Amino acid sequence: MFATAPLAFRHGIAGLLIWAGTGAAAFAPERARADYRDSVEVLRIGLAENHVAAANPLKLAAVRRTFAKALGIPVEIVTMRGYAALIDAHASGQVGYAIHSARSFAATYAACGCVQALRTPVASDGSTGFRSILVVRENIEKPIDELRIAYSNEDSVSGWQIPRQAIASGSLDAPQLVRAGSVAAVIELYQRGEVDGFFSWLPEIEDAAGADLKQLFGGWNQSALQASDPLRLMWSSQSVPYGPHAIHNGMPDDLKQALGAFLDQMPSTAPGLLDIMEPVFSGGYVVPDPDAYEGLDGLVRPPAVNGG
């Protein structure tokens, strides 16, 4: 992944544990005056149990030790049963720092307004988020409300929740929806001619020239899509960033700065930790736009009710 780091170091947990005891000191700020280490006794980092690191005690130990060495304070990793528990723990301040999905961060912010996205991961293709899109057969000329459109299932943010929000707000006409159950089933329905198109997603890459439909579903199962009828883009949502690393507003500003610097340097200084933290996002981190997650507000807030 990174030419400057030996392969065994990049992917070896043992090597990372050694690094946690030595190289992490390069991140630790010199103690010249009173700072967050005088007020923060322990930093609790929350993550959902479906995070890849949560299933491996060695990986969790590596994350804890490396953060602790870099920050100069004790760190505790708190795994949650799901995103609902993570949202509650972060909003209530039980954890000061959390690794969120885009939707769980939006829900946490909606619940308390007390968290901020510190950094957003970058994928290997350079994307920092995605767009929900509607694609249809290239020769289709009918209006959207006359089309049969497939979607995977109701848990899909890009394939169901964002389009449903757009339909409810009136920014997208309602098609005849066909539940497929999975992305593979969506493609099969399209191949058999049983639907006119489907909801999908495209990576959001800065400075990319237009929408590259070869990257539908992140480039997954392109052989099947290329063998099907040509597609054209009919609708696109605004960009949605990938899930952020976020911090509670009650944490000291200098701790936020130290964490941001640690994440910024991680690809070059601790690529093994990046492999653990972001196994599908190998491009490091960027500072997100402060308003980047506002587009998900409708997914986590109940609709307003007019009248008494």
Query: Class assignment of domain 127-240?
Result: alpha beta
Is the pLDDT score of 250 beyond 50? yes
7-123+242-299 placed in CATH 3.40.190.10: yes
Could you check whether 7-123+242-299 and 127-240 share the same CATH topology?
Answer: yes
The confidence band for 112, taking pLDDT boundaries of 50, 70 and 90, is very high
Mean pLDDT of the chain: 84
**Model confidence over 259-269: pLDDT tens digits?**
999 999 999 98
pLDDT on residue 210: 55
Return the structure tokens found at 116: 């901020």
Mean pLDDT of 160-186: 94
Is the pLDDT score of 92 beyond 60? yes
The domain limits of the chain are 7-123+242-299, 127-240
**What is the phi/psi pair of residue 77, to 5°?**
-95, 125
According to DSSP, the β-strands at 197-205 and 127-137 are antiparallel
**Model confidence over 39-65: pLDDT tens digits?**
999 999 999 998 888 888 999 999 999
Render the burial of 132-148: b for 16+ CB within 10 Å, e for the rest. Answer: bbbbbbeebeeebeebb
- Please state whether the predicted TM-score (pTM) of the whole model is above 0.85: no
